[in-house]
Amino acid sequence: MDRRRAEGDGEGRFARERERMVAEQVAGRGIADERVLAAMRRVPRHRFVQEGLHGFAYGDRPLPIGEEQTISQPYMVGLMTSLLELTGREKVLEIGTGSGYQTAVLAELARRVCSIERLPRLAERARATLEALGYANVWIRVGNGALGWPDEAPFDRILVTAGGPDVPPPLLQQLAEGGRMVIPVGTADSQVLTLVERVRGEIRTRPHGECKFVRLVGKYAWEG
């Protein structure tokens, strides 16, 4: 078998695993937003983990991505993305780029994604992966995402993929009127996935179940 053929077979296997991941772990657990399901069928999740873990990329769990961080469980990505109710027109701020997998799912569904990662090595790798896959509507920068991205604010949607003790005030300030933010809030060990909406100037929050994320670190979050 020549090399191209072998690679083709590999991609075919990943595509089948991806179909199954979406059917069983995401749609099968109640995520009904067809656009979200379609985006998760498209994004090659294995490309966001190191090669030794490719075989586990479509499993029902988070995986290590180095620097003591993790790529979120597929179901959690589906749940958070569907809570954002993206239509394709939004400017989205993401905090915690990590592997860039969630960033890619957002890039499939929104107009533009600004993503902030605290650890330069992860930011660099995510940028390279997203570029190799051809995502042109993503901007990544290194810094404390709890401070937001003032030059690009306001944002129609904000997604925080690390858990903090509270909603960082700068993120509330940078949420547009009619905007939605999804953020895990709680202790370092356990958080509540929280939906924050700004409706006619008023802030409303609603809980959406328990979750466990790595820590959001820095000012307005946990001490490094």
Q: By the criterion CB under 6 A, which residues form the site for ligand SAH? A: 65, 69-72, 95-96, 98-99, 101-102, 116-119, 122, 144-146, 161-162, 214, 216-218, 221
9 by Cβ neighbours in 10 Å (0-12 / 13-18 / 19+) ranks as exposed
Q: With respect to ligand SAH, which residue has the nearer C-beta, 161 or 174?
A: 161
**Active-site residue, selected from the candidate residues 72, 82, 99, 115:** 72
How near is the Cβ of 75 to ligand SAH at its closest, in Å? 13
- The residue assigned the tokens 């690679």 is 7
Q: How far apart are CA 164 and CA 218, in angstroms?
A: 10
How near is the Cβ of 1 to ligand SAH at its closest, in Å? 33
How near is the Cβ of 23 to ligand SAH at its closest, in Å? 20
Q: With respect to ligand SAH, which residue has the nearer C-beta, 55 or 178?
A: 55
How near is the Cβ of 3 to ligand SAH at its closest, in Å? 29
* Chain residue whose CB lies nearest ligand SAH: 98
Q: How far apart are CA 163 and CA 199, in angstroms?
A: 24
Active site residue 190: no
Q: With respect to ligand SAH, which residue has the nearer C-beta, 102 or 178?
A: 102
Q: Identify residue 88 by its one-letter amino acid code.
A: G
Helices and strands: H and E segment counts in the chain = 6, 9
Q: With respect to ligand SAH, which residue has the nearer C-beta, 78 or 218?
A: 218
Q: How far apart are CA 25 and CA 13, in angstroms?
A: 17
Task: Evaluate the CA torsion angle 147, 166, 94, 110 in order and state its sign.
Answer: negative
How near is the Cβ of 97 to ligand SAH at its closest, in Å? 6
Q: With respect to ligand SAH, which residue has the nearer C-beta, 179 or 184?
A: 184
Q: Which residues belong to the active site?
A: 72
